Chains A and B, each alone.
Chain A
Amino acid sequence: MANAAAPGLPRFSVEVYQNPHLPEGGREVNAIVTVTAAPDATAVPAAAPDGRAAVVVMVDCSGSMDYPPAKMRNARDATAAAVDALRDGVSFAVVAGTHQAREVYPGGGRLAVADAVTRGQAKEALRKLSPGGGTAIGTWLRLADRLLDGSGAAIRHGILLTDGRNEHEEPDALRATLDACSGRFTCDARGVGIDWEVKEVKGIASALLGTADIVADPAGLAADFTRIMETVMGKEVGDVALRLWTPQDAEVAFVKQVAPTVEDLTDRREEAGPRAGDYPTGAWGDESRDYHVCVRVPAAPVGREMLAARASLVVPAPAGAPPQVLAQGLVRAVWTDDLTASTALNPQVAHYTGQAELAHAIQQGLDLRKAGDVDGATAKLGRAVQLASRSGHEDTAKLLAKVVDVVDAAKGTVRLKAKVSEEAEMTLETRSTKTVRVRK
């Protein structure tokens, strides 16, 4: 479908998978919109100093990081590894987080520009990090926001590491901070050990369009931080939005990112002119994501064709100019009295409907299990095993098998394990929203 190239930007392309046929009176149109960003082959590789990106690393330095002491040491090493992965020219800062936020490097409300000297200084400063104090993640994020905002960089990213619950701040305060920071920078969140709250860490990553994961063994932190930083360094364009135009009297029932993870974007719409709304997608490197778009259109007579949605990728242009459209695809509705056509399920739509249900079933199953509802948990996790098996989602199937004994994966018959490690349960919950793409 459509694609556009702009200097310095990756080449975006949009593909739409759907069955456009609706029965007489049908109103609901479902489509999977696949967005792929590929490096601009004509561009010079970004070996030159890169002033477009700014990164703030937030390291939990609360008292609990001292138990065991290796945790703080591993966090320091991981942050050092992340600093080493910074490309020359990228602006960066390190923040120590407790019940308050403190600039560790470079300080003075500024960011440093990465080069051999500043990387060395930053690692030196990390040695002074010591645990002590509480946890108020909102303060860390607000400081990161101030630092990143001053950078003027197009790609603004945070990396947040925590090992405990957000105990020294009301949940509402964190919520308000996330609302304030949403759209201003993106942030990956990691929980180290097993004493943190999955929903908190996932909530941060979700609100700030980043990834969430568990690093149960602190020894694995350095490798994980290096990977995160490499991904951030690969981002080429920030503040990209999925813009949906829908016709008069139509409504967007939902918009979900469905690959690589499930993320409901429906409520994050910002109006963008008549009948159009923008859904934030954050920064893009060389990657591909899928979105499930569901639109309810006014019914039209058999034989009619309508544009149910125009999906485009837009990036803000400097100084009030209209946003630049990077690529677009069309979601159509065609009314027919051919039942074979209107009842056919598009394989992509069916697949991702299943993946979204899988993520939901895992979350529900774990919640019910915690609440002591054995039957309910067994039913939901059984359904999850069935969906994971059917869609070939092996990673999730393996994680599920650590929480339930699988009797018959195809039928979804399972028994709850009597003893489940905290780590296994947290890993499953954290990664429940990861999806696999359609097998071809």
Chain B
Amino acid sequence: MSQLPPQLTVCPACHEPLEPADNFCGGCGTDLSAVPSAPGAARPAGGPRRAGTPPARGADDHRAAPRSGAVPGQPAHGTGPGTPCAACRSGMIDNDGYCENCGHAQPRERDHMEHESAGVAAVSDRGLRHHRNEDAFATSTAALPDGSPAVVAVVSDGVSSAARPDEASAAACAAARDTLVTGLAGGTDPREATRRAVVSAAEAVAALAGPAAEAREHTPYRQENAPACTIVSAVVTGDLLTVGWVGDSRAYWVPDDRGTQPARLTEDDSWAAQMVAAGLMSEAEAYADERAHAITGWLGADAYEVEPHTASYHPDRPGVVVVCTDGLWNYAESAEQMAAVVPPDARSRPLECARRLLAHALDGGGHDNVTVAVLPFPTRPEGAGSA
């Protein structure tokens, strides 16, 4: 952003008191960086909310289901009609979510979301260059048949060039999470449950194209690509860590002991990864190419047969699993780079870790939506989440 936001003491939308470093209102989630600058005022750009502030709206709205984090629909804007504009502070918000004075769209609910529950924390953000957040996440804590906990996190990145990518990512996350929880509770092997979860997510995304795909045949002039997205999931059950994915969203393993090796747990379905795997290009060459991020696997009605990749690990030491979209890993590509950004206390304060990772992506330019889930390993006892 080209301008430094002014020093605000209360939220322009809901009048909640603010901390100097707040980027979003703790009360209503208003993006405070959208407020134009006032002379002589400055505050550091980038970086998520400080610790100790109340949860943002994304999490707030899902208190009814405290053990699950999920993504709301996008059409509604986060700020209700009749509230003041977060951009110009002189107009009120109309029924369509725009300021009646300056016309600026108001922050949407999905622009910035946070969620934390026992064993997992997640953050998703619009970033600095995209006009909406097309990423999504879903988390849950399930109980295995033996009563031990299973922690689930799913992250998805909507394909911007397709129609309604935000709906695709939300549908994929919800379907995968639900399938995983049901499967794990029913005693399905985590790897098989993960595979089924990715398949059910693929079906959910393909279903979004349903009527539109038929209409397309009759109206060829209307070129609408079927909604599409990537997916990556992580499941922690006992001493087992299981990941599943399609596309270029990733999972990393970052051990507490930084003397030991961190690792990337997923292999991208991307042009660059295929070039490297086929030995045609070096990693540096491949990722420098403008086609690097073209994905070769995705969920959607127009996807070739979806092949869920799954992998299971038995980590022999404590650490965290970082599950994220390329909006984050573009700024910390290798496992070592990711580990360098993960704070030392990530396992005890996973939400802080997720916020720190988001801040890293925003400081780097925030060119894409950023979504990251952090799962401590092994899962800590219920109720021991950080404040």
Q: Do A and B bind each other?
A: yes
Residues of A within 8 A of B (CB): 245-250, 275, 297, 300-308, 310, 330, 333-338, 440
Nearest neighbor of A309 in chain B, beta-carbon distance: B103
A303 and B127 in contact, given A248-B91, A330-B96 (Cβ under 8 angstroms): yes
A336 and B2 in contact, given A247-B99, A300-B104 (Cβ under 8 angstroms): no
Nearest neighbor of B108 in chain A, beta-carbon distance: A305
B88, B105, B127, B160: the one contacting A305 at CB < 8 Å is B105
Beta-carbon contact of B129 and A246 below 8 Å: no
Beta-carbon contact of A336 and B131 below 8 Å: yes
A308 and B127 in contact, given A248-B88, A440-B221 (Cβ under 8 angstroms): no
Query: Contacts A304-B104, A305-B105, A307-B96 given; 17 further ones with Cβ under 8 A?
Result: A248-B101, A248-B102, A248-B103, A250-B103, A297-B103, A300-B104, A301-B1, A303-B127, A306-B102, A307-B99, A330-B96, A330-B98, A334-B131, A336-B129, A336-B131, A337-B129, A440-B221
CA gap between A306 and B160 in the complex, in Å: 19
CB distance from B375 to the nearest CB of A (A): 30
Does B162 lie at the interface of the complex (its beta carbon under 8 Å from any beta carbon of A)? no
Does B15 lie at the interface of the complex (its beta carbon under 8 Å from any beta carbon of A)? no
Nearest neighbor of A335 in chain B, beta-carbon distance: B131
CB distance from B49 to the nearest CB of A (A): 20
Does B63 lie at the interface of the complex (its beta carbon under 8 Å from any beta carbon of A)? no
Residues in B with CB closer than 8 Å to A440 are 219, 221
Residues in B with CB closer than 8 Å to A300 are 104
Does B126 lie at the interface of the complex (its beta carbon under 8 Å from any beta carbon of A)? yes
Beta-carbon contact of A307 and B129 below 8 Å: no
CB distance from A250 to the nearest CB of B (A): 7
Beta-carbon contact of B104 and A306 below 8 Å: yes
Inter-chain residue pair count (beta carbon < 8 A): 61
A306 and B2 in contact, given A247-B99, A336-B131 (Cβ under 8 angstroms): no
Which residue, of B1, B3, B98, B103, has the highest number of chain A Cβ atoms within 10 A? B103
Does B317 lie at the interface of the complex (its beta carbon under 8 Å from any beta carbon of A)? no
B3, B88, B103, B130: the one contacting A307 at CB < 8 Å is B103
CA gap between A250 and B99 in the complex, in Å: 13
Beta-carbon contact of B102 and A303 below 8 Å: no
Does B128 lie at the interface of the complex (its beta carbon under 8 Å from any beta carbon of A)? yes
Beta-carbon contact of B96 and A246 below 8 Å: no
Nearest neighbor of B96 in chain A, beta-carbon distance: A330
A306 and B129 in contact, given A248-B88, A297-B103, A301-B2 (Cβ under 8 angstroms): no
Residues in A with CB closer than 8 Å to B91 are 248
- Complex interface bits, B87-100 against A, C-beta within 8 A gives 1, otherwise 0: 01001000010111
Nearest neighbor of B367 in chain A, beta-carbon distance: A337
Please tell me the number of chain B residues within 8 Å of chain A, measured between CB atoms: 25
Beta-carbon contact of A305 and B131 below 8 Å: yes
Chain B contacts with A in 20-57, Cβ cutoff 8 A: 34
Residues in A with CB closer than 8 Å to B34 are 304
Chain B contacts with A in 103-117, Cβ cutoff 8 A: 103-105
CB distance from A25 to the nearest CB of B (A): 10
Residues in A with CB closer than 8 Å to B130 are 303, 336
* Chain B interface, >50% SS class: loop
CB distance from B370 to the nearest CB of A (A): 13
A247 and B102 in contact, given A301-B2, A307-B96 (Cβ under 8 angstroms): yes
A303 and B101 in contact, given A248-B88, A330-B96, A440-B221 (Cβ under 8 angstroms): no
Residues in A with CB closer than 8 Å to B127 are 303
Beta-carbon contact of A303 and B103 below 8 Å: no
Beta-carbon contact of A303 and B126 below 8 Å: yes
Residues in B with CB closer than 8 Å to A336 are 129-131
CB distance from A136 to the nearest CB of B (A): 48
CA gap between A304 and B91 in the complex, in Å: 17
Beta-carbon contact of B128 and A306 below 8 Å: no
CB distance from B129 to the nearest CB of A (A): 5
CB distance from B20 to the nearest CB of A (A): 22
CA gap between A337 and B130 in the complex, in Å: 9
CA gap between A306 and B100 in the complex, in Å: 11
CA gap between A335 and B127 in the complex, in Å: 14
Nearest neighbor of A295 in chain B, beta-carbon distance: B103
A-B contact pairs, 9 of them (CB 8 A): A247-B102, A303-B130, A305-B105, A305-B131, A307-B99, A310-B96, A330-B98, A334-B131, A440-B219
CA gap between A248 and B129 in the complex, in Å: 23
Beta-carbon contact of A308 and B131 below 8 Å: no
A305 and B104 in contact, given A248-B88, A330-B96, A440-B221 (Cβ under 8 angstroms): yes
Residues in B with CB closer than 8 Å to A310 are 96
CA gap between A303 and B88 in the complex, in Å: 17
- Complex interface bits, B116-157 against A, C-beta within 8 A gives 1, otherwise 0: 000000000011111110000000000000000000000000
Nearest neighbor of B98 in chain A, beta-carbon distance: A307
CA gap between A210 and B102 in the complex, in Å: 36
Residues in A with CB closer than 8 Å to B129 are 302-303, 336-337
Nearest neighbor of B34 in chain A, beta-carbon distance: A304
Residues in B with CB closer than 8 Å to A303 are 126-131
CB distance from B326 to the nearest CB of A (A): 16
Residues in B with CB closer than 8 Å to A337 are 129
Beta-carbon contact of B105 and A306 below 8 Å: yes
Nearest neighbor of B3 in chain A, beta-carbon distance: A301
CB distance from A218 to the nearest CB of B (A): 45
CB distance from A438 to the nearest CB of B (A): 10
CB distance from B91 to the nearest CB of A (A): 7
Residues in B with CB closer than 8 Å to A333 are 103
Residues in B with CB closer than 8 Å to A245 are 100
Chain B contacts with A in 337-368, Cβ cutoff 8 A: none
CA gap between A296 and B160 in the complex, in Å: 27
CB distance from B25 to the nearest CB of A (A): 18
CA gap between A303 and B103 in the complex, in Å: 15
CA gap between A305 and B103 in the complex, in Å: 9
Residues in B with CB closer than 8 Å to A247 are 99, 101-104
CA gap between A440 and B102 in the complex, in Å: 36
Residues in B with CB closer than 8 Å to A249 are 102
Beta-carbon contact of A304 and B2 below 8 Å: no
Nearest neighbor of A303 in chain B, beta-carbon distance: B129
CA gap between A337 and B99 in the complex, in Å: 24
Residues in A with CB closer than 8 Å to B104 are 247, 300, 304-307
Residues in A with CB closer than 8 Å to B99 are 247, 307
Nearest neighbor of B103 in chain A, beta-carbon distance: A247
4 nearest A-B residue pairs (beta carbon): A247-B103, A307-B98, A305-B105, A307-B103
Beta-carbon contact of B1 and A306 below 8 Å: no
CA gap between A334 and B101 in the complex, in Å: 17
Nearest neighbor of A347 in chain B, beta-carbon distance: B221
CB distance from A197 to the nearest CB of B (A): 43
A306 and B88 in contact, given A297-B103, A336-B131 (Cβ under 8 angstroms): no
Nearest neighbor of B2 in chain A, beta-carbon distance: A301
CB distance from B289 to the nearest CB of A (A): 18
CB distance from A362 to the nearest CB of B (A): 28
CB distance from A34 to the nearest CB of B (A): 16
CA gap between A249 and B100 in the complex, in Å: 12
